[in-house]
Amino acid sequence: MEIPLKIKGELIRSYLKGKNLSDLSREYNIEIEEIKRILNEWINGYFKLYDDDYYIRQIASLMLEKDLKPEDIVQGYYYYEIFRDMDKEEVMRFIISLKNMEEDRRKSLIENSLRMMKLNRYSGIDYSEIPQALDRMVLRAGELKENIDSSERRISELESKERELEERVLELEREINRRKEYLEILLFMERHLDMGHEDIKDFILDAKKLNYSKKDLMEISRAIRTMNERGLGVEQFIRLVDYLEGLMDLGLSVSFIKNLEEDLERRGLKLQKYMKEMDDLIEDKLLYEKNVDDLKKEAKSLENQIRSMRNEIREYLKKVKPKMK
C-alpha cells in the first residue's frame, strides 16, 4: 500500500532529528528498505516537505482516474470524518438507521462513503489534510493570478511602448526621406545652375513655402539653365513659353516646334530673334488693322456728312423754286 505523504514527511523529519532506521521502522511499522526508498525519493526531489505540489498532483490524478469532482472530495472528507473509526458493517448499520433520510440522499451517502473509504485504502490519502491543502492551493492560485495580471500589465506597457517606437521610427524615416529629397534637389540645382550653395538653399526654401514639389523645382532649374545658355532675360523667357504654349494650343506638336527651332538655327536665326520679328510683325498688323478701322470710321462719318448736306440742298431747292416761277 502506498504510504501517505504526511507519514513520509513525519518519517523524514524524525530521521533528520537523529533517529536511526531501526527505530523508525519500529515506530512507523515500515520495513527498513521501504524507509530507505522514501529517503532516496526525498533526496532526489520526487517530493518536498514544505510544498503541496506533489500532494495536489496526487489528488488531481486520482480525481481524473476515478472521475471525481471537487464536490465529491469535500463531501467524502465530511463522510470520512464521521465514519473514520467505523468498519464497513458499522457504517452500513449507521446509514440504514437514518430512516428519515430521502432514498436518493441515502444512496448518495452510501456510495460516496464507500468510495472515499476505498480510495483511502487504495491511495493512502489522509483526508484531514485536504482543507488546509485546498486553502494553500487557493492562496497560491491568488499569487499566480497576481503575477499573471502583473505580467499582462507589463506586456501591455511594452506593446504600447513598441507602438510608440514604431511611430517614431516611421517619423524618422519620413524625415530622412525629406532630407534626401532636399539634398537631391540641392545637388541637381548646383549641377545645372550657376548659383552658390546658400542662394540655392534660400531659393528652395522660398519655393517650398509656395508648395512647389520636387518635380517643379527640377523643372524650374532646367528652365533657368536654358535661359542662361541662350542669354534670355526673364521676360523674354516668359514670352517664349507663352508663345510655345500658344503654338501647342493651335495643335502643333512638340516635335514640330523642335524642328522649327532647328530650321531657324540652320538659317542663322535664333528662336528668340524670330519671335521678336513675329512680335513686331504682329504689332504692325495690329496697328494697320487699327488704322483701317479708323479710316472706315472716318469714311462713315464723311458719308453721313455728305448725306446731311444733300438733304439740306434738297430742302433749300424746295424753298427757292416757287419764287423763280
28 CB neighbour count, 10 Å cutoff: 17
- What tens digit of pLDDT does each residue of 73-89 get? 766 666 666 666 777 67
pLDDT tens digit sequence for 282-295: 566 666 667 667 66
Task: Tell me how crowded residue 212 is: count the other CB atoms within 10 A of its CB.
Answer: 17
Amino acid at the residue 246: G
pTM score, whole prediction: 0.28
Q: What are the structural domain ranges in the chain?
A: 5-142, 254-325
Mean pLDDT of the region 133-137: 61
Taking residue 119's Cβ as centre, other Cβ atoms within 10 Å add up to 21
Name the H helices within the chain.
Answer: 5-16, 21-28, 32-43, 53-66, 70-83, 88-96, 103-123, 130-192, 197-209, 214-230, 234-249, 254-266, 271-324
Mean pLDDT of the chain: 68
- Residue 211 grid cell: 508648395
**What is the predicted pLDDT for the residue at 122?**
46
SS3 150: helix
Range from 150-159, 180-189, 242-251 carrying the lowest mean pLDDT = 242-251
DSSP secondary structure, 39-101, as one string: HHHHHTTSS-TT-SHHHHHHHHHHHHHHT--HHHHHHHHHHHHHHTT--HHHHHHHHHT-TTS
Is a pLDDT exceeding 50 seen at residue 239? yes
CA atoms within 13 A on the CB side of 189: 26
How far does Cα 65 stand from its chain's mean position? 49
The confidence score (pLDDT) of residue 158 equals 82
Q: Please give the share of the chain, as a percent, with pLDDT higher than 90.
A: 0
Note the pLDDT tens digit of each residue in 44-60: 766 665 555 555 666 66
Please, which residues have CB within 8 angstroms of residue 247's CB and are 6 or more apart in sequence?
A: 257
